[in-house]
Chains A and B, each alone.
Chain A
Amino acid sequence: MTDEQVVSATAQSAARTDTFPRLLRVVSLGVGPLVAALVLGGLVLLLMGFNPLSYYAYVVQRAIFSPSGLEATLTRMGPLLLIAASLIVAFRAGIWNLGGDGQYLLAAVFVAAIVPLMLGILPVWTNLLLGLFIGAAVGAIWGLLPAILKAWQGLNEIITTLMMSFLGVSLANVLVKLAFLDPATTTPQTRTLPVEARLPRLFDTSVSSGLIIGLVAVIAVHLIMTRTSFGMRLRLVGANPRAAIHAGLSVPTLTIAVFAISAALAGLSGAVDILGTHGNVRADWNPAYSLTVVPLVFLARLNGFGSIAYVFLFSALTIGGESAARRIGVPSFFSLVIVAILLITLGLAEYLDKRHQERARR
């Protein structure tokens, strides 16, 4: 070999060793923690006296490979994706809207109370559109107080949104039990929306079109945050509020806008869940989607597409977990255990990766 050949050969091998570990890194960072979480979760199952392999097999079979299970999984994704969109807007703009549960539930209650009353007066599709609008509006109104306090008083929105969330959940319950009670039933719940007046189903399946609304919302939010000047302004406020002031942005106005969008999306999620799946709200019902989705969007690093993947995974875990609870006896909350372990393994993987990189730099 001549010198030149040697040089090019070493350069090639250097390039190969360079790209190969990079691929390996992406794979190990993306899949490794998931596998580790499932293994650790399996250990927990073993300790509880269940066979982890048969549990996982059952969950996957019921949630993904059985047609009805997959349809339930996809339907559940709709409201979860809207919540994810709500959180991505807020978190990317540096605002911790943790009040999604109250915004969701109040919106759900108002939608469930008003939409059945309008049946027969308006055509079904205007009724549905109006229902979605009511949901978004109620959510946004419930986010207004924390928004104002944050924008002009600098009050910590973590505390105010959480407080408003507790209040919202309680108020929703009170409304169901006192004001919006269905007189035709004995259990405290709102009037039930007939199945034919709900959001249309997709094709021949039982998947609600809420899934489409959710997918559109989360992708739109992703594109707005990454590709538009409005999104750039929000990200600037989120990354460095002082730089935003220096750059001449009106931080209070943007804060209000972020709250309005985020809370409206949470409210929309409630509307979609009622109009698409439940049809009514029973007293003391609170799925607490918002706080459950918080770890998911962080696992996806506030990326819209990543969030879709994580929401699908979580949705499958809960749907499969719910039937496993009936069949095998593993509590349905086990899916939350998996998410919690996943957070830890992902954090660990990131820590190890950072240390590895630092070591390589030395």
Chain B
Amino acid sequence: MQALDQAPAALAATPSGAPVVALRGVTKRFPGVVANDDVTIEIRSGEVHVLLGENGAGKSTLVGMLSGLQQPDEGRIEIDGKVCVVASPKQALAMGMGTVFQHSMLVPSLTVTDNFALGGPWWKRPDRAGIAAGIRDTARRLGLRVDPQALVSSLSLGERQQVEILRALMRGSRCLILDEATAMLTPHEAVALGELMRRLVAQGIAVIFITHKLNEAIAYGDRISVLRLGRKVGEIDPDALRGASESENIERIIALMFGTSEKGESVRRVQVSRRLGDVVLTVEGLCCDAGRVPVRDISFSVRSGEILGIAGIDGNGQKELAEVLAGQLPRGSGSILLMGSEMGGASVGERRNRGLRYVTDDRLGEGTVGTFPVATNFLLKDIGADPFWRGGIERPQEIRLQAERHVRDFDIRTPGTQTPVGKLSGGNIQKVLLARELTGAAEAVIFAKPTYGLDVNNIRTTRKRIREAADSGKAVVLISTDLDELLELADRIAVMDRGRLRGIVGNDDDARDAIGRLMSAGDDE
């Protein structure tokens, strides 16, 4: 823990060094798009250099070129001031560029040590004891706790990432590239990763941190380069970054990212008071033991036009609650009333027919079928319904027309309605889900982490859709791990902790404190 405390001090003392890696005038084209256009970026040792940009801004292509997966069409890459060709990932590693990708590249069925031994010469027995000692040593130096004998499958996503960072360092990386490293992490793990980055740069490592989250960029970055549509549109150097307040920095970055100042929207509580109608959804004493986290004694009611937020740290039964409400998990006891009539025993399809919609957070895992066309994915929950099927026979014309309507109304960016949905970006897949769940006669909508993993622009449109759903008189249950999102949208906020609701507070000026108290009260038990 000592290392952690010293990290900021060490940082202040370390002057930014010479560029370890530099991209100079790099351009990369793909058929039909310019992914990077004349980008010049310098990466210095002892600095966390944040590459910030929306999905499709060209961040991943830059990573691809630095890690040897892709070659620039124009411009050059310099390492230690010398022009280099990074022809392969192996070569990138040899030059000291280590990349940690968003999705784990470890073999889950092997131990940490064996994962490190992979890639060694095949004719030699791996020196497991030596590797394990090296892991412990490096981990201690960074203030991490890693068990070399642990199976990778037993580690959390955050721990796996730490292991990957360790591996990159033990292979001699001087420049560490973290590609969307926080996207899959819980908020708590993301903070831990931020602290780890600070400790890495304190030891003179250069870190490239790719993200689309503003707050992370400002919290952990020394230098921020903003990419937009393949171009670098601005850079904020360490002095400017430290010299300004957080809100000034946010304003400046948003101006760079979108070309406008979005001051109005960054202020919290844009939520306007709606006229609330009758109670639509009532849950009483709901229990369920079927899921991973047991849900206990949940009671709440939501009125027409109201947004009930459910706050809490991820994995405290929110997902299970959503699934019990939607009918995907069997209810143990308690009642679920929609418009006054019991539907606790109804099937998923019946609940949907009666006006309950569920926007899942697992968009590719259960929300869509990646290999099916966009048009088909709009209809996954209405298979056989008139007018898309008549007498069980598909009517392609109707299906196409509806798909075109959805694509237009929800501004879905897709090459066509027959494109497999898996080829779309995360934001557009979410729009497909929203189009499916928000059209037709819905009474109540459950959103599970609706903006999780989306970029700023898509977050904004998704939130707008949620607000519109409530405005049109639907009862909305909004499950989110992002407190600011709840404070922006919800009328009342419930706090969920270990499968129970700890309390419900109105969204007024001291809601944040009240929620904080409820969360910590749960910890005392």
Contacts and interface: CB of A to CB of B under 8 A. Distances in A.
Nearest to A240: B369
A305 interface: no
B371 A239 contact: yes
Contact of B328 (A228, A235, A245, A360): A245
A229 B365 contact: no
A245 B348 contact: yes
A50 to B, nearest CB: 41
Interface in B131-170: none
B31 interface: yes
Nearest to B436: A247
Interface of A: 227-230, 232-233, 235-236, 239-240, 242-243, 245-250, 360-362
Interface string B383-410: 1100001001110000000000000000
A239 B377 CA distance: 12
Contacts of A250: 347
B522 interface: no
A82 B441 CA distance: 44
The CB with the most chain B CB atoms within 10 A, among A235, A239, A362, is that of A362
B347 A246 contact: no
Contacts of B358: 246
23 contacts: A229-B394, A233-B383, A233-B384, A236-B380, A239-B371, A240-B365, A240-B366, A240-B369, A240-B370, A242-B362, A243-B365, A243-B368, A245-B348, A245-B366, A246-B328, A246-B348, A246-B360, A247-B383, A249-B383, A250-B347, A360-B31, A361-B30, A362-B30
Nearest to A362: B70
Contacts of A233: 383-384
Contacts of A362: 30, 70
A271 B67 CA distance: 61
Contacts of B328: 245-246
A247 B381 contact: yes
Contacts, number: 73
Given A229-B383, A248-B347, A248-B349, A243 B392 contact: no
A243 B393 contact: no
A250 B369 CA distance: 17
Contact of A246 (B31, B366, B372, B392): B366
The CB with the most chain B CB atoms within 10 A, among A243, A248, A250, is that of A248
Contacts of B376: 232
B31 A228 contact: no
A149 to B, nearest CB: 21
The CB with the most chain A CB atoms within 10 A, among B348, B351, B362, B368, is that of B348
The CB with the most chain A CB atoms within 10 A, among B366, B368, B389, is that of B366
A41 B352 CA distance: 57
Contact of A230 (B365, B367, B392): B392
Contact of B383 (A227, A232, A239, A242): A232
Contacts of A227: 393-394
B312 interface: no
Given A229-B389, A230-B392, A246-B358, 7 more contacts: A227-B393, A232-B394, A246-B367, A247-B348, A248-B347, A249-B383, A250-B347
Contacts of B221: none
B83 to A, nearest CB: 22
A250 B366 CA distance: 15
B394 A248 contact: no
B90 to A, nearest CB: 18
B389 A248 contact: no
B327 interface: yes
Nearest to B64: A362
B20 to A, nearest CB: 27
Contacts of B327: 248
B369 A236 contact: yes
Interface of B: 30-31, 70, 326-328, 347-352, 358, 360, 362, 365-372, 376, 380-381, 383-384, 389, 392-394
B369 A229 contact: no
Given A243-B366, A247-B348, A248-B327, A229 B392 contact: yes
Given A247-B348, A247-B381, A248-B327, A242 B365 contact: yes
Contacts of B347: 248, 250
Nearest to A232: B383
A114 B383 CA distance: 42
User: Ordered nearest first, which 5 A-B pairs have the shortest CB separation?
Assistant: A248-B348, A248-B349, A229-B384, A246-B366, A242-B366
A243 B372 CA distance: 12
B369 A239 contact: yes
Contacts of B365: 240, 242-243
A252 to B, nearest CB: 12
A235 B377 CA distance: 12
Contacts of B348: 245-248
Nearest to A239: B369
A228 B369 contact: no
A150 B375 CA distance: 31
Nearest to A229: B384
A85 B440 CA distance: 38
Nearest to A360: B31
B139 to A, nearest CB: 36
B352 A228 contact: no
Given A227-B393, A240-B369, A242-B366, A247 B380 contact: yes
Contacts of A242: 362, 365-366
B380 A228 contact: no
B393 A248 contact: no
A228 to B, nearest CB: 5
Given A232-B383, A248-B327, A239 B70 contact: no
A78 to B, nearest CB: 27
Nearest to A250: B347
Nearest to A224: B392
Contact of A361 (B31, B372, B384): B31
Contacts of A360: 31
Given A229-B389, A229-B392, A230-B392, A243 B30 contact: no
B391 to A, nearest CB: 9
Nearest to B329: A245
A123 B352 CA distance: 52
B499 to A, nearest CB: 21
A242 B365 CA distance: 7
Contacts of B368: 243
A228 B349 contact: no
A11 to B, nearest CB: 15
Nearest to B390: A229
B393 A228 contact: yes
B415 to A, nearest CB: 14
A227 B390 CA distance: 11
A11 B370 CA distance: 33
A235 B371 CA distance: 11
A227 B383 CA distance: 12
A361 to B, nearest CB: 7
Nearest to B377: A243
Contacts of B370: 240
A44 B381 CA distance: 53
A70 B36 CA distance: 61
B29 to A, nearest CB: 10
A49 B326 CA distance: 68
